[in-house]
Chains A and B, each alone.
Chain A
Amino acid sequence: MVGPMYDCLANPLGAIRLTFEKAVGSGCEPSAFDGKDWGALDVFREFLVDQGNLSQVPVLNSETLKWVQPNTLVRFRGMVQDMLGNEFYAGAYKDGSGWRTNKFGDDSQQPIDSSPDVRVWERRLLYCVPVPGLNTWAESEAASEATVTSMDLTSQQRDKRQRMDAESMDYEGSNIVLEDSPSAKRMREDGHPSLSVQLSDLKPEGPCSSTMMRPEVGDSPSCLVKVYDTRESELKLNDIFEFVGVFTIESEPVPADDGDDIDLTTGFRNDLVHLVPCLHCIVHRKLAVSDFLRSSPIIEQSKHVVMNTRESLLRHLTMLLGNDGVAANYMLLHLLSKIHARVDNVAVGKLSLNLTCLSKEALSVFGVQLCNALRNLLPFTDSIPLTVNYLNTACLGPKKDYQRNRLIGGTLQLAEGSHLTIDETQLETGTLNSVGIENARLLKDLVELQKVEYDFTYYKMEMAADVQLLVLSEGKSNILPADIVLPVRPSDVSRPEVVSAEALGAWRWYLATMRTLSHTIESEIQEVVEKDLVAARQADRRIGSKEFSSLLTMGRLMSLSFGETTLSLEHWEMVKELEKLRKERIN
Chain B
Amino acid sequence: MASDSSPARFNNTPSSPDDSAFSSPIGDTISSPAAGTSRRNKRGRGRSAATPPNNHPRFAGSESTPTPLHHGGRPPTPSSTSEGAPSSEAGDDMDEAAPTFVWGTNISVQEVKSAIQMFLKNFRDAQSQGAEIYEDGKYMKAIHRVLEIEGEWLDVDAHDVFDYNPELYGKMVRYPLEVLAIFDIVLMDMVSQINPLFEKHVQVRIFNLKGSTTMRNLNPSDIEKMVSLKGMVIRCSAIIPEIREATFRCLVCGYFSDPIVVDRGRISEPTLCLKQECQAKNSMTLVHNRCRFADKQIVRLQETPDEIPEGGTPHTVSLLMHDKLVDAGKPGDRVEVTGIYRAMSVRLGPTQRTVKSLFKTYIDCLHIKKTDKSRMVAEDAMEIDSSTQKHDEDVEFDEAKLSKLPDIYDRLTRSLAPNIWELDDVKRGLLCQLFGGNALKLPSGASFRGDINILLVGDPGTSKSQLLQYIHKLSPRGIYTSGRGSSAVGLTAYVSRDPETKETVLESGALVLSDRGICCIDEFDKMSENARSMLHEVMEQQTVSIAKAGIIATLNARTSVLACANPIGSRYNPRLSVIDNIHLPPTLLSRFDLIYLILDKADEQTDKHLARHIVSLHFEDPELAQQDVLDIATLTAYLSYARNHINPQLSDEAAEELTRGYVEMRRRGNFPGSSKKVITATPRQIESLIRISEALARIRFSETVEKHDVTEAFRLLEVAMQQSATDHATGTIDMDLITTGVSASERMRRENLVISTRNIIMEKLQLGGPSMRLLEILEELKKQSSAFEVHLHDLRNAIATLQTEGVVAVHGDNVKRV
Give chain B residues whose Cβ lies under 8 Å from the Cβ of A552: 614-615, 618-619
Question: Does B362 belong to the interface (CB within 8 Å)?
Answer: yes
Is B461 touching A546 in the complex (CB atoms < 8 A)? yes
Contact of B223 among A120, A262, A456 (CB under 8 A): A120
Question: Residue B419 contacts which of A121, A122, A346, A530 (CB distance < 8 angstroms)?
Answer: A346
Inter-subunit contact B353/A111 (CB<8 Å): yes
**Of B46-54, B205-213, B308-316, B377-385, the one touching chain A:** B308-316
Which B residues touch A538, using CB under 8 A?
602, 604, 607
**Least distance between B678 CB and chain A CB atoms (Å):** 27
Cα A392 to Cα B27 in complex, Å, equals 54
CA distance A537 to B609 in the complex (A): 12
Interface assignment of B350: CB less than 8 Å from any CB of chain A: yes
Q: Is A206 at the interface (CB under 8 A from chain B)? A: no
Indicate if the CB atoms of A549 and B617 lie closer than 8 Å: yes
> What per-residue 1/0 map shows which CB atoms of A1-36 lie under 8 Å from chain B?
000000000000000000000000000011100100
| Residue in A closest to B264 when the chains form the complex, CB atoms | A265
Chain B proximity mask over A532-568: 1 for CB below 8 Å, otherwise 0: 0110011001001110110011001000000000010
Question: Which residues of B sit under 8 angstroms from A86, Cβ to Cβ?
Answer: 218-219, 315
Stretch at the interface among B279-287, B338-346, B582-590: B338-346
Q: Is the CB of B313 within 8 A of A407?
A: yes
Tell me whether B38 is interfacial, beta carbon within 8 Å.
Answer: no
What 0/1 readout, one digit per residue, does chain A (340-382) give for beta carbons within 8 Å of chain B?
Answer: 0111111011000000000000000000000000000000000
Partner of B354, one of A111, A236, A402, A545: A111
Tell me whether A534 and B611 are in contact (CB under 8 A): yes
A260→B237 contact, CB < 8 A: yes
The proximity string for B residues 83-98 relative to A, scoring 1 for CB distances below 8 Å and 0 otherwise, is: 0111010101011011
- The answer to whether A114 and B25 have CB atoms under 8 Å apart is yes
Pick from A34, A116, A256, A345 the residue with the most CB of B within 10 Å: A116
B454 to chain A, nearest CB (A): 20
When C-beta atoms are compared, the residue in chain B nearest to A238 turns out to be B311
Q: Mark each residue of chain A from 207 to 239: 1 if its CB lies under 8 Å from any CB of chain B, else 0.
A: 000000000000000000000000011001111
Judged by a CB distance under 8 angstroms, whether A185 is at the interface is no
A544 touches B20 (CB 8 A): no
CB neighbors of B among A248-283 (8 A): 256-257, 259-260, 262-269
B350 touches which of A93, A256, A266, A343 (Cβ 8 Å): A266
Per-residue A-contact encoding for B293-306, CB less than 8 Å = 1, 0 else: 00000101010110
The answer for the CA separation of A238 and B310 in the assembled complex, in Å, is 11
Contacts of A232 in B (CB 8 A): 216, 309, 312
Chain B hits for A521, CB < 8 A:
615, 618-619
Closest chain B residue to A102, Cβ basis: B357
**Residue of A at shortest CB range from B300?**
A259
Q: Does B79 contact A (CB under 8 A)?
A: no
Determine whether A587 belongs to the interface, using a CB cutoff of 8 Å to chain B. Answer: no
Inter-chain contact B611/A269, CB cutoff 8 Å: no
- List the A side residues contacting B309 at CB < 8 Å: 232-233
- Known: A233-B309, A265-B266, A541-B602. Is A257-B318 also a contact (CB below 8 A)? yes
Chain B residue, CB-CB nearest to A403: B235
Q: B615 and A545: CB pair below 8 A?
A: no
Asked if B346 contacts A116 (CB within 8 A), the reply is: no
Pair B617/A534 contact, Cβ less than 8 Å:
no
Would B614 and A116 count as touching, CB distance under 8 A?
no
Which residues on A sit within 8 Å (CB–CB) of B600? 541
Binds A, one of B186-194, B463-471, B503-511, B558-566: B463-471
- A114 neighbours in B (Cβ, 8 Å): 19, 22-28, 345
Which residue of chain A has the shortest Cβ distance to B265 in the bound complex? A265
Answer whether residue B718 sits at the interface, using C-beta atoms and an 8 A cutoff.
Answer: no
Whether A458 is near chain B, meaning CB under 8 Å from some CB there, is: yes
CB distance from A487 to the nearest CB of B (A): 23
B30–A115 touching, CB < 8 Å: yes
Q: Mark B581-614, 1 if CB is under 8 A from A, else 0.
A: 0000000000000000000101010011011111
Residues A88 and B235 in contact in the complex (CB < 8 Å), given A260-B240, A267-B350, A269-B350 = no
State the interface size on chain A (CB cutoff 8 A). Answer: 89
Q: What CA separation (Å) do A268 and B419 show in the bound complex?
A: 56
A85 contacts chain B at the CB level, 8 A cutoff:
yes
Q: Which residues of B contact A548 (CB under 8 A)?
A: 610-611, 614
At the interface, yes or no: A519 with Cβ under 8 Å from chain B?
Answer: yes
* Contact assessment for B362 and A346 in the assembled complex, using a CB-CB cutoff below 8 Å: no
Report if A166 contacts B (CB, 8 A). no
The 8 Å CB contact of A343, one of B262, B356, B360, B419, is B419
Say whether B358 contacts A87, CB under 8 Å: yes
Contact between B313 and A82 (Cβ–Cβ < 8 Å)?
Answer: yes
Given A264-B320, A534-B611, answer yes or no on A549-B618 (Cβ-Cβ < 8 Å): yes
Supposing A343-B419, A538-B602 touch, asked if A456 and B302 sit within 8 A by C-beta, the answer is: yes
* Nearest-CB residue, chain B, relative to A519: B619
Is A112 touching B608 in the complex (CB atoms < 8 A)?
A: no
Kindly state whether residue B741 has any CB partner on chain A within 8 Å.
no
B219: chain A residues within 8 A (beta carbon): 86, 122
For A464, the chain B residues whose CB sits under 8 A away are 310-311
Q: When chains A and B are docked, how far (Å) is the Cα of A567 from the Cα of B615?
A: 12
Q: Contacts A117-B98, A262-B360 hold; do A237 and B353 have CB atoms under 8 A apart?
A: no
Rounded to whole angstroms, the CA-CA distance of A33 and B199 in the bound complex is 51
Give the contacting residue for B19; candidates A113, A260, A348, A529; CB below 8 A: A113
A89 at the interface (CB under 8 A from B): yes
For residue B99, CB closer than 8 A to chain A, the reply is: yes
Contact indicator per residue, chain B 696-711, by CB within 8 Å of chain A (1) or not (0): 0000000000000000
Known contacts: A90-B357, A108-B357, A111-B20. The answer to whether A265 contacts B618 by CB under 8 A is: no
Cβ of A533 and Cβ of B361 under 8 Å apart?
no
Q: Does B683 belong to the interface (CB within 8 Å)?
A: no
Q: Which residues of A contact B343 (CB under 8 A)?
A: 88, 120
Contacts of B88 in A (CB 8 A): 29
CB-defined contacts of B419 to chain A, threshold 8 Å: 343-344, 346
Which residues on A sit within 8 Å (CB–CB) of B463? 545
Other-chain residue from B94, B308, B314, B618 in contact with A94 (beta carbon distance below 8 A): B94
Closest A residue, CB atoms, query B62: A264
Q: Inside 8 A of A402's CB, which chain B residues have their CB? A: 234-235, 300
- A contact residues around B361 at 8 Å (CB): 88
Q: CB within 8 A of B26: which of A116, A454, A519, A567?
A: A116
The reply to whether the CB of B76 lies closer than 8 angstroms to some CB of chain A is no
Of the candidates A407, A534, A567, the one whose C-beta lies within 8 Å of that of B608 is A534
Within B1-40, the residues touching A (CB, 8 Å) are 14, 19-20, 22-28, 30
In angstroms, Cα B240 to Cα A265, docked, is: 12
Contacting residues, chain A, for B234 (C-beta < 8 A): 402, 457-458
- Report which of A87, A264, A265, A545 forms a contact with B610, defined as CB distance below 8 A: A545
Q: Is the CB of A545 within 8 A of B602?
A: no
Task: Find chain B residues with CB under 8 A from A520 CB.
Answer: 619
A457 to B313, CA, bound (A): 13
Identify A545's interface contact among B308, B359, B614, B621, CB under 8 A: B614
Say yes or no: is B220 at the interface (Cβ < 8 Å to chain A).
Answer: yes
B764 at the interface (CB under 8 A from A): no
B180 CB-CB contact with A under 8 Å: no
Query: Are A463 and B220 neighbours in the complex by a CB distance under 8 Å?
Result: no
**Which of B92, B308, B355, B614 contacts A112 (CB under 8 A)?**
B355
* B357 and A106 form a contact (CB under 8 A): yes
A83 touches B23 (CB 8 A): no
CB distance from B623 to the nearest CB of A (A): 9
**What are 22 sample pairs from A and B whose C-beta atoms fall under 8 A apart?**
A29-B90, A83-B313, A89-B357, A90-B358, A113-B14, A113-B20, A120-B26, A120-B223, A122-B219, A264-B265, A265-B262, A265-B266, A267-B23, A267-B350, A269-B350, A341-B622, A344-B466, A459-B305, A531-B611, A533-B615, A538-B602, A546-B461
Beyond known contacts A31-B86, A259-B235, A264-B60: 7 more, CB 8 A cutoff: A90-B358, A116-B84, A118-B84, A236-B312, A237-B312, A530-B612, A533-B607
Enumerate the 5 nearest inter-chain pairs by beta-carbon distance, A residue then B residue, closest first: A236-B311, A116-B98, A544-B461, A259-B237, A265-B265
